[in-house]
Structure 1
Amino acid sequence: MTKTYKIVFFDIDGTLVDEEKRIPPDAIEAIARLKESGVEPVIATGRAPYFFKELAEEAGIESWVCLNGAYVVYRGKVLFERTIPMSDLEKLVTLSASLNHPLVFEGKDAFYANRDGRHESVFDSIESLRVLQPLFDADFWKKEGVYQVFLHCESRDEHHYPDALPNLRFVRWHEKAMDVLTRTGSKAEGISALLAALGLRPEDAVAFGDGLNDKEMLELVGLGIAMGNAHPELLPYANYVTTRVDEGGVRNGLVHAGLL
């Protein structure tokens, strides 16, 4: 019997958008056809909401699991939130300062760096997202909820953090930057909250991804699809590998799932 999926989760960078941060026209068309058939498309990204608002509108997607599962919105309604405890943020701030590694704090409405002026690691990594650079507020973490932090360090220095901060999780997304989450934080956590709210099971879902922060998501759902341009370490977690984002990857993956 053919499996009928009810919801599809899409990562953004390297999945919905190419290296130029553009959504291929065939992906937009595929998502429109998906909606016409009654299947819900949802963004599942490490990005914050202010990093993808226009992109979501272009794709015709109204719901998202963002900030690596820490903030979940379904058609305008917030369903789930997870912030990093203040005590853990304080330890991260202290350790990163001792190692001279800048931080960027991500709230649900804005993001701020704890260094004033342009810092090469901060600028280069955030520039790669094709979004505006953060403003400066070293104490933002004391004032508002922080859902995720960008830790700006190279891979040779990341070993300083996991043992010193066991309540936090570190996932690299750029050669000069890592996402910092709560220890249990992942896209899968946010997806589970959304599925529960909608009365759906993980096996009712499909997910597309290409990066290291997509492992848990692909493992959770009924059909995990890795893009042809995916990180090699993601492939063992996928049920299927589609073509590259710029080679019809989204459309071809949906065809494989029996949704187009």
Structure 2
Amino acid sequence: MKEKVLFFDIDGTLVDNTYGVHEVPEGVKRELKRIQNDGHKLFICSGRPKAMINQQFLDLGFDGYVLYNGGYIEIDGESIFEERMDTELATQTVDMLEELNCDYMIETAHHIYIDKRYKELYTFFKNLGMEEMFSMDFDRDDVLKRAIKIEANVTNKDKQKVSDYLDGKFGTTISYDQHGSDNSFEFFSPTMSKAVGIKKVIEHYGLDIKDTYAFGDGLNDIEMIQLCQIGVAMGNAVDELKAQADIICKSIDKNGLEDILKALFPQ
């Protein structure tokens, strides 16, 4: 088979705390290694920053990462693309969040910055064992010059206000309550998407979109599922994604990913 490139979302696809799948299943690990040994490329394609790529994912030996929903791309350990937020817009955004007393964190290519005041958001990630990823002493305005994404925890009373702000300033509302902290909103360049990141990976390898497979479960996976030649929605995926997928496999807790990999790439 001609070389293919496979793109995997993380939360809800490789792991999912809601379903009790806290680590990548051993069967999935075996299939990933087998497919890679057969000459295909494997990429994580996630909204996560690099600082949230836990060691268990690094140990899987992916060929690269499309992170920040396409805002940062790394291949074979080298950064090939980074799209930072407009500094003025990033500053305006955090000013708005501070006025609303919303916890937020600033994410750059390799680090995450959070003010010591923001206990709720920090505690959420600390409870997931991720507290070491944060830098808490920093110059806000300096960090904003390198910001790729801002993530905020918004109270119910301010959800509509923040949603309206996103629609007006960013052209779309990005809210990921299913995987992030409660009432989690993300702010990033409106030109970013997983699909844009995938196109850059394909260009890097000199391949065609016909050589791509995507696996996901969430709203931010829709564009990559639509773009790739074969788009697979997990059985636990949101209905909007299932409607766009070429294939719907079983859910993550029913060995859905392992089984579909075996079917698509038989031994």
In structure 1, runs of 5+ residues without a counterpart are: none
In structure 2, runs of 5+ residues without a counterpart are: none
Partner of 1:14: 12
Specify the code of the residue in structure 2 equivalent to 1:135: S
Partner of 2:38: 37
The alpha-carbon deviation at position 257 of structure 1 amounts to 2.6
Question: What pairs with 1:1-150 in structure 2 (closer than 5 Å)?
Answer: 6-19=4-17, 20-113=21-114, 115-124=115-124, 126-127=125-126, 130-132=129-131, 134-137=134-137, 139-143=139-143, 144-150=145-151
Q: Which TM-score applies when normalising by structure 2? A: 0.86
Q: Determine what percentage of the aligned residue pairs are the same residue.
A: 27
Q: Is the 8 A contact 2:103 2:120 kept in 1?
A: no
Does structure 1 residue 221 correspond to structure 2 residue 228? Answer: yes
The 3 A distance-change label for structure 1 pair 79 and 97 is: same
Specify the code of the residue in structure 2 equivalent to 1:214: D
Partner of 2:250: 243
Partner of 1:171: 174
Q: Deviations over 1:129-164 (max 9, x none)?
A: 542263325743533511111111146633223543
Q: Is the 8 A contact 1:121 1:153 kept in 2?
A: no
Q: Is the 8 A contact 2:35 2:265 kept in 1?
A: no
Distance 2:183 2:141 in 1: 21
Q: Which TM-score applies when normalising by structure 1? A: 0.89
Specify the code of the residue in structure 2 equivalent to 1:147: I
The 3 A distance-change label for structure 1 pair 259 and 42 is: farther
> By percentage of residues, which structure has more helix?
2
Q: Deviations over 1:178-237 (max 9, x none)?
A: 221111211111111111111122221001011111111111100111111112232112
Specify the code of the residue in structure 2 equivalent to 1:151: A
The alpha-carbon deviation at position 6 of structure 1 amounts to 0.6
Distance 1:259 1:7 in 2: 16
Aligned CA RMSD, in angstroms, stands at: 2.3
Q: Is the 8 A contact 2:216 2:232 kept in 1?
A: yes
Distance 1:155 1:14 in 2: 24
Specify the code of the residue in structure 2 equivalent to 1:6: K
Please give the secondary structure, in 1, of the residue aligned with 2:28: helix
Paired positions, count: 256
The alpha-carbon deviation at position 117 of structure 1 amounts to 3.8
The alpha-carbon deviation at position 256 of structure 1 amounts to 3.8
Distance 2:183 2:160 in 1: 14
Specify the code of the residue in structure 2 equivalent to 1:17: V
Distance 2:9 2:141 in 1: 27
Q: Is the 8 A contact 2:102 2:155 kept in 1?
A: no
